[in-house]
Each structure stands twice: as C-alpha cells, then as structure tokens.
Structure 1
C-alpha cells in the first residue's frame, strides 16, 4: 500500500493541509510582490512625449471681420432716476434690566455619619485610640 492511497487522519492530516495552504499563500504573496514591483517601476519611469511625425495641420482660414456695433440706446427714465432711499430699520431696544434677586439660603447639611458606629464590624473608620 503506497502513501498516496492512504487516508491521513488526525494531526498528520492537519500538517499536510497546513503545508498545502501555506504553499498557496506563499505563491499568492509572490505574485502580489511581482505585481507591486511592476507597478512601482511603471510609475517611477518618466514618460517621454514623442513628437508627431506628421506635418503640422494647414493654417485656418481667417475669421470674418466683426460686425459693427449698433448705436447705443438712450437711457431709460428708470436709469436716470436716483435709487430710492430706504430708511434703516430701527435698532431693537435692549431687554429691560431686572433687579437682582436674592439667593435663597442653602439647605442645612445633614450631620456627618459615623461609619464606625453604624458598621462596627466592617471597620470603615478606625477609632482613634
């Protein structure tokens, strides 16, 4: 019985599949590396503009002379009248100032809790002694 006809089981099968997968990954990486190298060399090479070998195009026919401008029209009465003056809007009045209100007194603070008295066995506060 030769090794190719055997069905691999367990860790040997995992090793073989890992080797096959690793070789596929390496070949793809090599392809990517050559593509990147080709691309960077293509970008880095300066491009030279090849001058045209054909003769220059024939010169264009001269343009027709410009038509004479019509005489200027007399200004209309609207253009002669000065623009109407619009009075500026009145300034808004400042808000009325209210007298300052006295602050209410702060509420009385509760007396401090003595944690050692409330929870003696937990020892939150050590008794000075």
Structure 2
C-alpha cells in the first residue's frame, strides 16, 4: 500500500498466506483496521526498510487505528492495542475452519468482543443475505 487515504478494513475473516499489509513509498493516512480475523504469518504489518509491527505502522500508517482484531500467531508486544493474539485458529473456536465454516461457535472468545459489540470477523449471515440472488457471469 502506498499513499492511500481513509482506508477502513472492518469485520473481515481472512486466512491468508502473506503479510496482513505491506507498505512502501508515501504514508497512508486515516487507516483503520478493526474487528478482523487475520493470520499474522511472518511479518504481519510491514513497511519497506522498517521493523514489522508498530514501527511499520508508525512510519507508513501514522495515526492508524488497529484494534479489536484476532491476529493469529501474532505477538502482543509488537502492536500494543486491544487485539487478541491467539496461537492458532483452534484457540478462537470457529465452527469448522478446515471445512470452510469460519463462523464463531457460541463459546468463542470472539463473540461480542468487537469494538461495536458484535463478533470479531465477518458476519457470514449478513454477507450471505447481501449477495443472495447475485448472478455470476462467466
């Protein structure tokens, strides 16, 4: 990412292989990353010529809001804000992640733990309703 303004990433569930975000060039302003489930992987948030985590956020996302996320495999000492740093997907108690069902189980620590009182991650019921009837063209 470079030179963006007002990017808000909120209530997503992303089981990715790479970094959470990679930045370079001109700083990004007004960045909000809230109520998401993501994999930290090797670097998490990283910027060109910066240490991963807080140093990269400060340099490339000044004044950013990064809170109420479940950053799987992350280190709480790197980004000191209200995030969860579970060791594995199993720890956050999703319905059936191996089978593609990423909804939170009733006993999940993500239940009602978002900044807005909702579950952290994607609300798949709302998403399904929003895309119902959408025709995919090939």
TM-score, with length taken from structure 1: 0.16
Higher relative contact order by CA 8 Å / sep ≥ 6: 1 or 2?
2
Bigger radius of gyration, 1 or 2?
Answer: 1
Q: Counting strand residues as a fraction of each chain, which structure ranks higher?
A: 2
